[in-house]
């Protein structure tokens, strides 16, 4: 059989697909341990979270994370093979690129915008941060530097486990005590292949860190996504920006193309170009404006805006058709509810 669904596939079964076709910023997050996988031995794979819930998913619900890892021209064939196994009543997609969203609309599927991704184009980004447009991040960088914060890129195993755990536990204690899943790859205490680690110190004590996950094209790394960031409550303002800017400067020198600052959920939703579910649009727009208690939607977006980065819209879709009930199933799967 050329395709199958599995938990925890052998890394060799998906690694070659990831490094050839893992162009999107969500691709490396397909290595999360909580995921299931649909793998087609010739074409590629899709990674998804599975939900079984008496209220929101009594028959089971798969939420596929990001674009399928395959050649774009093979998407329809890969999706058809997947649907043959699971049926059309149980699948959602989140963080889709516009080209893949367009392919779904040709199947008669509604697609909804779900937020923008900020992308720093490294060749054209001026690390000196000149002019008024960079006033805010220049101020934050300078403030943290003046207060003695030093950023270093070091392998994971060169960091004191005790200091690492102290920062992580401090951060988690202020964020509800649990890891995120789904749209961000959760932190794991391990040195992951091709992941880069930037650490912030003050007076030789670790106070924060950020992990950057690779994005691949044709077997090579062309960029990174700022995926995991943790700061303890003693960090001077601007520490996170100093970490990001240190990575930007280094990766620009290396000739890389792009750093993604990640998704700003629910930001910039207009839904004027592709067929969409209007009710879902209104709910997501409402949540962006009024549900900061769920997630700091506006704060996340407006801070990233200070980098003057290029923005790309992302999409969600639900098969065979979108509705508000199934949207709640997506939220439940991603542990938003």
What band does 179 get if pLDDT is binned at 50, 70 and 90?
A: low
- At 80 the pLDDT is 95
Q: Average model confidence (pLDDT) for the chain?
A: 92
Range ranked top by mean pLDDT from 77-86, 241-250, 325-334: 241-250
Average pLDDT over residues 216-223: 97
Q: Which domains does the chain have, with CATH numbers?
A: 3-117+269-302+312-333 (3.40.630), 119-261 (3.40.630.30)
Enter the pTM of the model: 0.94
What band does 308 get if pLDDT is binned at 50, 70 and 90?
A: very high
The residue to which tokens 């960088």 are assigned: 141
What band does 191 get if pLDDT is binned at 50, 70 and 90?
A: low
Closest of 136, 166, 296 to residue 231, by C-alpha: 166
What band does 268 get if pLDDT is binned at 50, 70 and 90?
A: very high
Average pLDDT over residues 249-258: 98
- At 277 the pLDDT is 97
Closest of 64, 66, 47 to residue 5, by C-alpha: 47
Higher pLDDT, 175 or 14: 14
Q: Which residues face 223 on adjacent strands?
A: 215, 258
Instruction: Decide: residue 241, CB within 10 A, 0-12 exposed, 13-18 middle, 19+ buried.
Output: buried
Terminal C-alpha separation, the chain: 37
Model confidence at 1: pLDDT above 60: no
Q: 37-56 burial, b for 16+ CB within 10 Å, e for fewer?
A: bbbbeebbbbbbbbbeeeeb
- At 176 the pLDDT is 65
What band does 321 get if pLDDT is binned at 50, 70 and 90?
A: confident
Sequence length of the chain is 337
- At 177 the pLDDT is 55
Average pLDDT over residues 281-310: 95
What band does 187 get if pLDDT is binned at 50, 70 and 90?
A: confident
Model confidence at 31: pLDDT above 80: yes
Closest of 23, 47, 49, 34 to residue 213, by C-alpha: 23
Spatial strand order in the sheet of 205-217: 3-7, 36-40, 44-53, 57-65, 91-96, 310-319, 111-121, 258-265, 220-231, 205-217, 196-202, 149-153
Question: Is the distance from CB of 309 to CB of 259 less than 8 angstroms?
Answer: no
What band does 84 get if pLDDT is binned at 50, 70 and 90?
A: very high
- At 291 the pLDDT is 94
Higher pLDDT, 2 or 240: 240
Closest of 84, 5, 15 to residue 46, by C-alpha: 5
Looking at the chain, the whole-number percentage of residues with pLDDT higher than 70 is 95
Model confidence at 32: pLDDT above 90: no
Question: Could you read off the pLDDT of 113-168 as tens digits, one per residue?
Answer: 999 999 999 999 999 999 999 999 999 999 999 999 999 999 999 999 999 999 99
Model confidence at 73: pLDDT above 70: yes
């Amino acid at each position: 059989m050329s395709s199958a669904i599995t938990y925890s596939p052998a890394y060799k079964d998906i690694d070659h697909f990831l490094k050839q076709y893992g162009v999107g910023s969500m691709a490396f997050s397909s290595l999360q341990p909580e995921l299931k996988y649909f793998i087609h031995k010739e074409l590629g794979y899709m990674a998804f979270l599975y939900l079984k819930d008496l209220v929101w998913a009594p028959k089971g619900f798969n939420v596929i994370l990001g674009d399928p890892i395959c050649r774009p021209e093979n998407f329809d064939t890969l999706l058809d093979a997947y649907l043959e196994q699971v049926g059309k009543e149980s699948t959602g997609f989140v963080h889709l690129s516009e080209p893949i969203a367009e392919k779904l609309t040709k199947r008669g599927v509604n697609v909804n915008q779900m937020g923008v991704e900020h992308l720093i184009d490294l060749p054209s980004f001026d690390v000196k941060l000149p002019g008024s447009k960079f006033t805010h991040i220049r101020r934050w960088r300078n403030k943290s530097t003046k207060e003695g914060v030093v950023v270093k890129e070091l392998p994971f195993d060169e960091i004191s486990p005790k200091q690492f755990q102290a920062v992580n536990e401090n951060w988690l204690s202020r964020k509800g005590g649990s890891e995120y899943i789904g749209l961000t790859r959760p932190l794991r205490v391990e040195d992951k292949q091709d992941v880069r680690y930037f650490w912030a110190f003050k007076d030789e004590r670790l106070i924060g860190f950020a992990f950057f996950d690779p994005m691949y094209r044709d077997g090579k790394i062309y960029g990174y996504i700022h995926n995991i960031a943790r700061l303890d409550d003693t960090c001077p303002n601007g520490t996170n920006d100093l970490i990001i800017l240190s990575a930007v400067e280094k990766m620009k020198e290396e000739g890389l193309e792009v750093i993604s600052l990640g998704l700003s959920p629910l930001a910039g939703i207009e839904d004027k170009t592709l067929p969409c579910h209007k009710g879902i649009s209104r709910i997501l727009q409402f949540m962006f404006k009024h549900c900061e208690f769920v997630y700091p939607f506006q704060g996340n977006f407006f801070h990233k805006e200070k980098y003057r980065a290029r923005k790309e819209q992302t999409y969600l879709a639900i098969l065979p058709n979108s509705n508000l009930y199934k949207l709640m199933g997506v939220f439940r799967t991603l542990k938003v509810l």
